[in-house]
A and B are shown apart, each in its own frame.
Chain A
Amino acid sequence: MNQNLFNYTLQQADNCLILGQRLGEWCGHGPVLEQDIAMTNIALDLIGQARMLYQYAAEIQDEKRSEDDLAYLRDAWDFKNVLLVEQPNGDFAKTILRQFLFDSFNCPFYEKLKESSDERLAAIAAKSHKETLYHLKWSGDWVLRLGDGTEESHNRIQNALNELWPYSEEITTPSEADIDANKNGFGVNLNDIKSERETKIREVLNEATLTIPDSAYNHTGGKEGKHTEYLGYILADLQFLQRAYPGNEW
C-alpha cells in the first residue's frame, strides 16, 4: 500500500474527528440555542469529512481495517491530529478561538487539495471546502463579536488567545507525510497556505481589538503521535462503546 497516502489521509481525518468530537461536547450546553445548533452542525460536517477520509484510508491499506476500526480502535499514539484540536473546550470564547484557528487553516487547505493529483482526495476536498466557508465565516464573526464586545467577553477571548496561540502554527508546519504528499503531487504545499492564513488571522484579531502574544514558542508533535494528556480522555469517551462491545452497530 501507499503508506504515505494513508498517513496523509489519516492526518486530516483525525483533525476532523477529534475537533468534531470536542464540538459535540457542547451539544445541549451552548450559550444560546442558535449557537448550540451551530456548534453541533459544524461538528456534524467535520465528522462527515472524517468519515469520507477514513473510508478512503481504509481502502488504501491492506489490513482489512474498516473506517470504524480506524476511528475506534487505534490508540492515542496512532492519532495524527494537531494538538490544537484536542485542547479542552474551556468557555465559549476558547471554543470559538480554537475553531477560528482551525477554520483559517481548513478552508484554504481544502481549496488547495481540490487540485490534488489523487482523484479521491480532490473529490473529498471539493465537497468539504464549501462547508468550511460557512465555518470560517461563523467563527471569524464570533471572534470579532467577543473581542470587540464587552469588557468581559474581550477578556475571555484574549485569555483564550494567550492560551491557544502556541498551538496555532503546528498545523502549517509540515510533517514527513505533508512533505512527501506535496512532493508526489497529491498533497498541499503548506507554505502556500501559511502566509495567507497568518494574514487572515492577524486581520481578524486586529479588528477584534485583540493583542497577539509575542511568544514565538510552538507546541508540536501531534502529527507524529505525541499528544497532550487530553487526547487519551477524548478517546476514552469516543471509543468506549466499541472497546466494551466490540463490533456493535447501530
Chain B
Amino acid sequence: MTQELSKQSNRLQDGGRIDRSKPLTFTYNGKQYKGFEGDTLASALLANGVDIVGRSFKYSRPRGIVAAGAEEPNAIMQIGSTEATQIPNVRATQQSLYNGLVASTTNGWPNVDNDLMSWVGKVGGKMMPPGFYYKTFMYPKSMWETYESYIRKAAGLGRAPKENDPDIYDKMNQHCDVLIVGAGPAGLMAALTAARAGARVIIADEQNEFGGSLLSTTEALNGKPAAEWVAEVVEELSGFDDVLMLPNSQVNGYHDHNFLTIQQHCTDQFADRAPNGQIAQRLHRVRAKWVILATGAHERPLVYGNNDLPGCMVANAVSTYINRYGVAPGKDLVLMTSNDNAYRTALDWHDAGRNVVAIVDSRKNPQGTFVEAARERGISILVSSGVIEAHGSKRVTDVSIAPLNEVGDAIVGSVVKMAADTVATSGGWSPVIHLSCHTGARPVWNDDIVGFTPGVTVQKQLTAGAINGAFSTVQVLDEGLSAACDALAHLGLSKPDVVLPEADVIEEGKAMALFHIPHTKPTSKAPKQFVDYQNDVTAAGIELACREGFESIEHVKRYTAMGFGTDQGKLGNINGMAIAAKMLKQTIPETGTTIFRPNYTPVTFGAIAGRDCGELFDPKRYTAMHAWHVERGAKFEDVGQWKRAWYYPQGNETMQEALDRECLATRNSVGILDASTLGKIDIQGKDAREFLGRVYSNAWAKLAVGKCRYGLMCGEDGMVFDDGVTSCLAENHFLMTTTSGGAARVLSWLEIYHQTEWPELEVYFNSVTDHWSTMTISGPNSRKLLEKLTDYDVSKDNMAFMDWKPMTVAGVPARVFRISFTGELSFEINVQANYGLHVWKELFEKGAEFDLTPYGTETMHILRAEKGFIIAGQDTDGSVHPFDLGMSWAVSMQKPFSFIGKRGMQREDCVRENRKQLVGLKTLDPKAVLPEGAQGVLDPKAPIPMPMVGHVTSSYWSANLNRSVAMGFVKGGLDKMGEKVYYPLADGRVIEAEICSPVFLDPKGERQNV
C-alpha cells in the first residue's frame, strides 16, 4: 500500500471516501498508474500528479482538470481497452475508476505533454480571433476544399470505434408520484419526506453515490459527519418498496407533460464492456406526477489571464478532491474569491497540511464564519484584490495579483507576483437550471445570488435547494422538506413525521458580482482570458464579437462558439454574458438569458436506440408459408415490413431464366403466388356500402353479395394512392384488399375519414391481413387444380369471373375469389392463416400433374404488365389521377354523395390537355428492355436541359411474348398512339419506343373469363 501511495504524489495520507484497501490499476496514455476504489478517473490522475489532460482545440494550449463534475470542460478522454469498446469523449470527472481502465487524451502530437501544434497556436493564434474562418479561406476559390480538409483534421475530440458495439442497452418506462432529481441534501430530504408519506418515488443522481455536496463537506449534521446522515437516509430509503434509487444516473431531458429521460450507467461505470448477459446502460423513460429539481449549483470560475494553465481550478473542485478523494492537487495555493463560501477551499487546503499562499478577495471588508476561520489559521488575506494573471508553461508557477477598485473593473495599484502552483477561484454559484430550461421556462436573473434561477414553468415541477439560490445547508434541507410537502399536498398525501437534521449555522458576508478580472493591459492585448475552455473562447473574443455588431447574446454565442462544447457552457456562459453585457453597457438580464437544451450531459446513442436496431429495428412479417419459400430457395424482397418471395431460382438458373420459366408455366399450365401480404380490411356496419362509395372513385351501390369489384382510392387532390379488390361478403359486410405496403396507411385513412368527417356513418374497420393466408392459383389449369381440392362447383356457370364463394378447400373452410391479376383464369384461395401451409402443400401435392409452379413478386409484376394492370406506387406516384391512367371506367362522377378526390381531379390543371398519361411502350428493338425510371424525350438531340415527356414506370422481358413490354407516362400519350419516344440513357444509348396500348396480351380479356 505504501508503494501505491508513494507513486500517488498528491494523495493525502488519510481522509476521503476512497477505499485504500482496494488499489486499482489503470492505463493512461500508455502508462500504468494506480488509484483506489472510489476514485474518479480525474481524481486518480490528479493523485498521480498528472497536470496536462488535453490540448485546446484552436490554440493547442495545455489544459488540466478544472472541475470535479459534469461541468468539467477539459478532461475529455478516450476510453476503451479494445477496438470495439472504444468510447469517445468521456469526462474523466464523471468516470469511476476501475481496474484495467484504459484512457488516453484525444489531442496533441506527438503527445499531449509536448504538442507541436501548440507552436502553430502560439504563432497563428493571433490570426484566429472568433469567426476568423468567415473572413478567410475564400481565395482562391478552388483552395477552400484543401483548407477545409486541414480544419477537419484538427477538429473532433475522441474517435468512434471501428467495430460494432458488443454491448446492449435497454429501456424502461417508469411512472411515479415524485421524481427527485439530485440526491444532495435537498433531494435526500425531499425523498425521505415523500417516501415516508407513502408516495412512489424515484430519486436519481449523476454521481456514483448519493449525498451530493455532503460527500465533500466538512460540515456536521446532527453533530456527526454529514456523510453519516446521508448513509442513514439512504438506508431508510432502500427499505421502501416504492422508492427507486438510481445513482450513476443522469436525468438528461425534461420534456412536455412531465416526461423525463434518465440515463442509468449500469455497468459502464465499472467496465468498458458489460459482463456477459448484463446491459451497459438503461434509459428510463419517466412520467412523473411531480418533479422536484434539487440539482444544486455549479461554481463559476473567475476569468483572468492564462486562467487555462493546468493548476487553475474551480475552488469547490479543489475541496472536493481533498475531502472526497484524499487528493490535494498541488502544494501552494492561491485562492481568489468574490464570496465567503470559497474560503472553505483555503481551509481545506490548509487543514490538509498544504500551504495557502494567500486568499485574494475582491471585496473590501470580508466578514463571516469562514473568513474568521481563515484568519484564525493565520492565512494571509489580500482584500480588494484579484489574480490578474497566472504564469507558467505547463503548470502554474506564479501568479500576478493586483489591487482592484470597488466594483472590480480596474486595477488601482501595483502588481505583485507570488509563487504558487494552484489557483482556485470562485465567482459565486450558478444554479443548475438546465432541466427547467428544457421545458421552455425562461430563467430569471437574481441579483442577490448573482445568477439565474428557474423561470415560471407550466410543468408540475418544484425546485429545492441551491437551484433556487439557497446555499446554506440549513436552508437547503428546509427547501427539500417543503418541496416534498408541496408535492404531497398536490398528490393528496399527508405530511409524515420528519425532523430536519441540525446543521451548523454559518454566517456569510455579502458576495460581490465579479466575473472578469481586469488586466494591466486592455483585454485585447492581455494574455488570453478564457471563458469557454473547450471552445477556446476568450474575453477578448467576446468583446470583439460585440464590437463587430453581434449584439444579441445568441449572436455572441454563435459567433464565438461559446457554450457549444460538450459541457454546454456550464462554467462559462454566465461569465461570457457578463462580459458581453459590460461591452454593450447593459445589465446581464437585458443582454439575454441562458438557454440549455437537452441533454444535460451527453447520452450514448446506443442507449437511446435501445434494442430497436438490427433484427428489432422494424418487425419482419412473414406469411404462413414462409418456411416453404425458404426451403424452395426463394429470393426475397422487402415490401413494407413483409418479406415476400421475389423469385424461385432452380439449380444454376439466372434470375431472368427463373422468371421466364415461372411466367411460361403460369400462362401455359398453372402457377401459384403467396399473396397473403395483400392488406385485408374487414368492413362492417349498416353504412359500410355508403362508406365504400365515398372512399373509392367508382360505384358500390349495386355490388351484390358474392361479388367482387376493383376500386381506386384517391386523395383529396384526386390523385390515386391505393387500389384493390373489395368483395361483398354479406349485405353489410365487405372485405377490402389493399396493396401490401399500403395496408396500414389505408386503414388509418379510412379511420381518419370516419372519425373526423363522417362520424354519423355506422361502419367498423378491422385489419385482418394476418388472419388469412392467401394463395393465388393462376393459369389455364387452375380450375382443374382447384377441383381436386374441393367438392364445390367452381365451373364457370356456378362461379363466374369476379364472384367469390365460401367452400371447403383441402378440408378447411375457405373463401375463394375468382379474380385475376395475371389475366389468366385465376382463383384466390383464402384460408385461416393457421391452415395456410397445409393447404399450400396440398395444392402442390395435387398440382404436381399440372407442374404447379410457384412464382414470386417479380413474375407477378411481369404477368400483370403483359396485361397492362397497374401497381399503385410503381405506376402511380401521387401525381396521377384515374384519367391519367386511362382508367376512366373506374370513376363514377354520378354518385349521389361525391367521393374523395372528385373535386380535386376536376381542377383546371387536372383536366388540361397534355397531362402525363400512362401508356404502353413498345421498344423498336424487341430485345431491348427499357430501364425503369428512364426519362423519355421527343427530340433526343435537344440540348440540355432537355424537355422530358415522362418516365418508364414498369418494364420487363416477357417470355410469353418473346419481347420486352413496358409502361410509362408520356405527355398527352393517350392521343399519341403509334408515335415515337426516345429514352437517352446514362451510358449514352438512346432507346426508341412506340406508344401503344398497355395491354400487350389478350386485349379482349378472354383468358380470365373461361
Partners in one complex: no
A interface residue numbers (CB < 8 A to B)? none
